[in-house]
Structure 1
Amino acid sequence: MSSLYFTEEHELFRKSLRDFLHKEVVPHIEKWEKTGTIERFIWKKFGEMGFFGIRYPEAYGGMNLDLFYTVVFLEELQKIKSAGFAAAMWAHSYLAMTHLNAEGDERIKQEYLAPSIAGEKIGALCITEPFGGSDVAGMRTNAVKNGDNYVINGSKTFITNGVYADYYVVAAKTAPELGNKGISIFLVDTNTPGISATKLDKLGWRASDTAEISFDNVEIPLENLMGEEGKGFHYIMQHFALERLIMAINAHARAEYALDYTIEYMSQREAFGTTINKFQALRHTMVEHATEIEHCKIFNYAAVARLDKGEYVVKEATMAKLKSTKVADQAIYDCLQMLGGYGYMEEYPLARLLRDSRLGPIGGGTSEILKEILSKMIIDNKDYKPAV
């Protein structure tokens, strides 16, 4: 099935990326997981290899490649035993930079997008708030015009790369009385006075820097507004399809990694005079998960192909994330069980995989929110439209 979407060039890219990750990243993973800090040199190396510019214009140092190169990028990042490291990379490249490319003017693209592609600047997308969660329209952070500046006040939380970042892409209300029609998007340098970032202590994604950020009378120039004032909610919704597909691809890839590792373990682990891959109950459990994972992959690839053609796939992306993250959690849970006591040990990958995977049904819109979005589309016949 993958041959429908992946060419020989995609597979050569996969091999190159895999070799790079095992040479340059894997030797540092355990240190980064323990310290919770990914050293900046690796961002520069990713930039030098062109990995941050996969889908961005050549004018800014990118390669302008199709979305299946992105799929390869995401899948391979899930197979090096640190979803936290993976999150830092894709949140920079596909959350913050997506907005720079889509809504940033030429100045912003030259000063921020180009250095981001080169790995010289790190970005973070700031949408979620302490009291908002998945309720984007309910955000309280505001931006008020004051002469030649906007003054931003408020807070954001669960922000990936929130401490590492050199710049934030911030959603704030410029007209609170208009609800979701009063949200705008801004570029904010992290060295601007009035910003404070506090690192959060998490169950998983330990290598990733996740922060709560406070904006206290932060002044930015009017030209740091991205796109049109009041269109922020539409921009966010427009890009959620890509974010949800990223989360879905991450989920099927980590589940596949867990399954492959576990099947190999079962072929060597002996009990009662035979390897445990000969026990019917265990075999059937594995093939059930393999079937679910393969279904998710096929669906996810089909949705990516449509998005790559410019189609608006909000329903399919929402379904993909909802299903794939659930399948991944269930598969990894059972894979850990197959290792018995060893599955509970940190020296084996399943313990970390279980913790890291648990964020899947939460980040990028909780499963509960996704079900309600789908309910409106399927039951109430609501027709979501792309931003114009």
Structure 2
Amino acid sequence: MKRTLFEPEHEAFRDSARTFITREVAPHYPEWDTAGIVPRNLFVKAGELGLFAAVPERHGGAGVVDFRYNTVFAEEAAAAAVTPATLGLSLQSDICLPYFLELANAEQQARWLPGIAAGELITAVAMTEPGTGSDLSGISTRAVRDGECYVVNGAKTFITNGINADLVITAVRTGDHPHRGLSLIVVERDTPGFERGRNLAKVGLHAQDTAELAFTDARVPVANLLGGEGDGFAGLTRNLAQERVSCAVSAVAQSVAALGWTIDYVRERSAFGQPIGALQNTRFRLAELATEIDIAQHYVDRCVADVVAGELNPVTAAKAKWWTTELQGRVMDTCVQLHGGYGYMLEYPIARAWQDSRISRIYAGTTEVMKEIIGRSLDLD
């Protein structure tokens, strides 16, 4: 079925994104995969590409707020089998940047947006804590007002861009109410009392730095408060919908890529005197995946269109997130199986994609939390 999401300008950007990934990412990906982090200069080059173009012109961007460009970039990264090396870039463009565009005041935008647009300032968002995952009301990192500063104490974990980040949008508790007691504070790199722990050793996504963060009497200026005090829960929930669509876009894009690699493989590999692709089981399994991926693609395209139109709602995003990431898991597992023993070898992209994909059902809200959001919308009580 023909996709109708993109205009000619998006396809022109696709060519630029493909060239960028071919030249700036793919040749270095094995090195970054081993190092567990991408170089900071990659963000600068992404800024030159225009990945952070949503920043207004007066602050060094292009003022182009169109999530279809973000979608194109994610699709090209998946096609090149380098998604882990680009996740930090997408985190900045898809997830962190909206906080600065929607919640930052004029002074904050003038202070931070030029660096973000140029890729010279790297961003992260810190919600998850050692004892709190998807339940935002359980956040315990506390910020206490002391004059013109907040004194922050607590810890965060599993923070993408945690090592590289210069600006960390940090969810803190400024009051006791589970929701109205949450605020967002931007903690800058050199803040006294702010420390980064180890770059966490993960099952997959090895090129993406993921860190623990600690705050011990960290003094953060009140001028770094994003939005009003107590508005953190509303800000997080509003932006989480787009984050979940970003996850869905990547899940479908990686599924499309895995299916393509597998179709190519079964055409070439033989068993019992014929190509694996000629076996009925192979045809049926790939027919199922091709159908499910196509259906998911069109639902996600509609979600992206809703983002562009400003009409995305949390329930729609939750449906997209859990369905596509569960599909991604089924696709990867089936494609590894159809590769046989070679599917378990890391020299084949399907093995790395299978390894990298497992987290997608957990981050940005687990499948179970997505179902809970959807279930609550049904007014069953």
Q: TM-score range by the shorter chain?
A: over 0.9
Q: CA deviation at 1:42?
A: 1.4
Task: Output the CA distance in 1 between the equivalents of 2:312 and 2:15.
Answer: 31
- TM-score, structure 1 normalization: 0.95
1:280 aligned residue? 280
Contact 1:196 1:214 in 2 (8 A): yes
1:183 aligns with 2:207: no
Post-superposition shift, 1:59?
A: 2.5
Q: Give the superposition deviation at 1:62.
A: 2.5
Deviation at 1:38, TM superposition (A): 0.6
1:2 shift after superposition = 4.9
Amino acid at match of 1:229: E
Alignment correspondent of 1:149: 149
Aligned to 2:31: 31
- Could you list the per-position Cα deviations for residues 336-371 of structure 1 after superposition, in whole angstroms to 9, with x for gaps in the alignment? 111111110010011111111101110000001111
What is the distance in 2 between the residues matched to 1:30 and 1:220?
Answer: 38
In 2, are the aligned partners of 1:249 and 1:300 still within 8 Å (CA)? yes
Alpha-carbon distance in structure 1 between the residues aligned to 2:374 and 2:28: 41
Q: Does 1:127 align with 2:127?
A: yes
More displaced stretch, 102-111 vs 369-378? 102-111
Unaligned stretches of 5+ residues in structure 2: none
SS in 2 for 1:378: coil
CA separation of 1:256/1:154 partners in 2, compared to 1, >3 Å: closer, same or farther? same
Partner of 2:246: 246
What letter corresponds to residue 52 of structure 2 in structure 1? F
| Alpha-carbon distance in 2 for matches of 1:291, 1:138 | 40
Check the 8 A contact 2:70/2:90 in 1, yes or no.
no
CA distance in 1, matches of 2:113, 2:80: 27
Identity of aligned residues (%): 37
Contact (CA 8 Å) 2:154, 2:214: kept in 1 or not?
Answer: yes
User: Distance between the aligned counterparts of 1:214 and 1:2, measured in 2?
Assistant: 48
Q: State how far apart, in whole Å, the 2-side matches of 1:49 and 1:223 are.
A: 31
1:10-57 Cα offsets, whole Å, 9 max, x none, are 11111111111011110000110011021122111111121122x332
Q: How does 1:161-310 map to 2 (within 5 A)?
A: 161-175=161-175, 177-198=176-197, 199-310=199-310
Take 1:375 and 1:352, find their aligned partners in 2: how far apart are those partners?
Answer: 34
Deviations 1:83-133 (A, max 9, x none): 321221111222222211111112221221221111111111011111110
Number of the residue aligned with 1:329 = 329
The one-letter code matched in structure 1 to 2:56 is: P
Is the Cα contact below 8 Å between 1:96 and 1:168 reproduced in 2? no
Structure-1 separation of matches of 2:142 and 2:186: 14
Aligned residues: 379
- Paired residues of 2:3 and 2:298 also in contact (CA < 8 A): no
CA distance in 1: counterparts of 2:266 and 2:107, whole angstroms: 55
Q: Which residue does 2:40 correspond to in 1?
A: 40
Structure 1 residue 379: deviation in Å?
4.1
TM superposition outliers: structure 1 runs of 4+ over 6 Å: none
CA contact (8 A) 1:200 1:212 kept: yes
Give the conservation status (yes or no) of the 8 Å contact 2:55–2:113. no
Give, in whole Å, the separation in 2 of the partners of 1:355 and 1:77: 16
| Residue number in structure 2 paired with 1:386 | none
Q: Which residue of 2 aligns with 1:136?
A: 136
Alpha-carbon distance in structure 1 between the residues aligned to 2:20 and 2:200:
30
> What is the TM-score with the length of structure 2 in the denominator?
0.97
Please tell me the root mean square deviation across aligned C-alpha atoms, in Å: 1.3
Distance 1:83 1:214 in 2: 28
SS of the residue 1:131 aligns to: coil
Q: Distance in 1 between matches of 2:30 and 2:52?
A: 23
Q: 1:140 Cα deviation (Å)?
A: 0.3
Asked if 1:11 corresponds to 2:11, the answer is yes
Range moving further from structure 2, 343-352 or 35-44? 35-44
AA partner of residue 179 (structure 2)? N
Determine helix, strand or coil for the equivalent of 1:178.
coil
Q: SS at 1:51's partner residue? A: coil
1:340 corresponds to 2:344: no
Instruction: Compare 62-71 and 111-120 and name the one that shifted more.
Output: 62-71
Per-residue deviation, 1:297? 0.7
Mapped to 1, the partners of 2:17 and 2:52 lie a distance apart of 12
Q: Deviations over 1:191-225 (max 9, x none)?
A: 11111112111101100000110000000111111
Q: For residue 380 of structure 1, report the CA deviation from its aligned partner.
A: 3.1
In structure 1, give the amino acid aligned to 2:222.
L
Where does structure 1 lack aligned partners over 5 or more consecutive residues? 382-388
